[in-house]
Amino acid sequence: MSAETLEYHYGKHLQTYIDNLNKMIEGSPYEDMPVEDIIRKATGGIYNNAAQTWNHTFFFQTLSPSAPAIPERLGKALTDNFGSVEAFKEAFTKAAISLFGSGWVWLTEDAEGKLSILQEPNAGNPLTKGLKPLLTIDVWEHAYYIDYRNRRAAYIEAWWQLVDWAKVDERL
Ligand code: MN
pLDDT of 3 > 90? The answer is yes
Tell me the CA–centroid distance for residue 9 and ligand 1, in Å: 6
- CA pair distance 9, 54, nearest whole angstrom: 14
Ligand 1 center–CA 57 separation, angstroms: 10
User: How far is ligand 1, taken at its centre, from the CA of residue 121, in Å?
Assistant: 12
pLDDT of residue 36: 98
Confidence of residue 131 (pLDDT cuts 50, 70, 90): very high
Could you give the CA distance from residue 47 to residue 169 in angstroms, rounded to a whole number? 28
Model pLDDT for residues 43-83, shown as the tens digit of each residue: 999 999 999 999 999 999 999 998 789 999 999 999 999 99
Euclidean distance between CA atoms 120 and 106, whole angstroms: 8
Distance 138 CA to ligand 1 centre (A): 6
